[in-house]
Amino acid sequence: MPDVTELVFALGAGARIVAVPPAADYPDAATRLPRVAPSDVEGLVAMRPDLVLASTAGSDPRVVERLADLGVRVCTIDVTTCERLAEAARLVGDLVGQGEAGAALAGQIAARCRAAAEQAAALPERRALYVVWWEPLIVAAPGTFHDDLLQHAHLANLAPAGAGRYPRVDPELLLDPRLEVIVAADEPDLRAGLGRSRVLARVHAGAVRLHWLPAAEASRPGPRLPDALDALVAARSENP
């Protein structure tokens, strides 16, 4: 996945990558590597990797099982919090022979997330939703890295628990009088979707604050995730 690709490069081990997914576009060096679809088991095996890094955020578990059955060494990373992102940095660092870099990156991630949370703690707690898609309405529920972003920014998530990580919910949730903040990735399709949403009137009236986050940083649980958190806390500080 793109976030795992970014993590390996951040650890200084980009030269060891033999292939990346088509969606990998950062850093620039990743765009010059061979591309294999994450679902293409034959293509993955043909690259003869010593290790395949997968992610619960997007990798098909059936592909992971098939690779393991074929004797390919696979490590699946499950980043649902800033803390787990730091753990992933240590783990992948050890796996690719960059243990010191992994420990250093983990420390940087933890320090940045802690500093952002401390800054946000001075802000009033607001009730929020992280919108992944407008039509149908899909939100980030507890147990996701997006929920962790909200928590670090002193925002209480109104998304229902127990319905999956990214449940499809009733659009009426956007009209819930408890809702005070909406957070979303700044992508053209999401901005267009907002224009068709019934919550737009509440945003214009100032009843709901809307914070757009840098899309790639906010959509991938990789080493740039603290950048998304910093952006969210900064937006909250400007409009608490």
State the SS3 of 27-54: CHHHHHCCECCCCCHHHHHHCCCCCEEE
Whether the Cβ atoms of residue 149 and residue 115 lie closer than 8 Å to each other: no
Q: Within this chain, do residues 131 and 108 fall inside the same structural domain, yes or no?
A: no
Q: How confident is the model at residue 144 (pLDDT cuts 50, 70, 90)?
A: very high
- Would you give the DSSP letter of residue 160? P
Q: How confident is the model at residue 57 (pLDDT cuts 50, 70, 90)?
A: confident
Q: Within this chain, do residues 41 and 18 fall inside the same structural domain, yes or no?
A: yes
* 187-203 pLDDT tens trace: 999 999 999 999 999 99
Q: Within this chain, do residues 110 and 135 fall inside the same structural domain, yes or no?
A: no
List all residues 6 or more positions away from 22 whose beta carbon is below 8 Å from its beta carbon: 35, 37
Backbone angles phi, psi at 220, to 5 degrees: -125, 125
* Res 13 pLDDT > 90: yes
Segments in the chain forming alpha helices (H): 2-10, 41-46, 61-69, 82-95, 99-120, 145-152, 188-195, 200-204, 215-219, 225-238
* 223-236 pLDDT tens trace: 999 999 999 999 99
Return the pLDDT at 76: 93
Q: Of 61, 93, 116, which one is at a domain's C-terminal end?
A: 116
Tell me the CATH number at 129.
Answer: 3.40.50.1980
Q: Within this chain, do residues 87 and 105 fall inside the same structural domain, yes or no?
A: yes
List all residues 6 or more positions away from 221 whose beta carbon is below 8 Å from its beta carbon: 3, 55, 57, 79, 80, 85, 145
Please give the angle made by the CA atoms of 27, 30 and 36, to the nearest 5 degrees.
145
Q: Within this chain, do residues 135 and 109 fall inside the same structural domain, yes or no?
A: no
Q: Within this chain, do residues 108 and 142 fall inside the same structural domain, yes or no?
A: no
Long-range contacts of 59-62 (CB under 8 A, 24+ apart): 59/1
Split into its structural domains, the chain has a count of 2
Return the pLDDT at 56: 85
- The type of residue at 153 is A
Q: Of 50, 83, 116, which one is at a domain's C-terminal end?
A: 116
The span from the CA of 21 to the CA of 211, in Å, is 29
Q: Within this chain, do residues 61 and 141 fall inside the same structural domain, yes or no?
A: no
- The type of residue at 232 is L
Q: Within this chain, do residues 99 and 190 fall inside the same structural domain, yes or no?
A: no
Q: Within this chain, do residues 105 and 158 fall inside the same structural domain, yes or no?
A: no
Q: Within this chain, do residues 111 and 184 fall inside the same structural domain, yes or no?
A: no
Q: Within this chain, do residues 97 and 21 fall inside the same structural domain, yes or no?
A: yes
Q: Within this chain, do residues 38 and 97 fall inside the same structural domain, yes or no?
A: yes
- Percent of the chain's residues with pLDDT above 90: 95
Q: Which domain holds residue 72?
A: 2-116
77: its two tokens: 């990373």
Whole-model pTM: value is: 0.94
* Res 58 pLDDT > 80: no
The pLDDT of 13-35, averaged and rounded, is 96
The span from the CA of 43 to the CA of 23, in Å, is 16
Q: Of 81, 116, 151, which one is at a domain's C-terminal end?
A: 116
Return the pLDDT at 163: 85
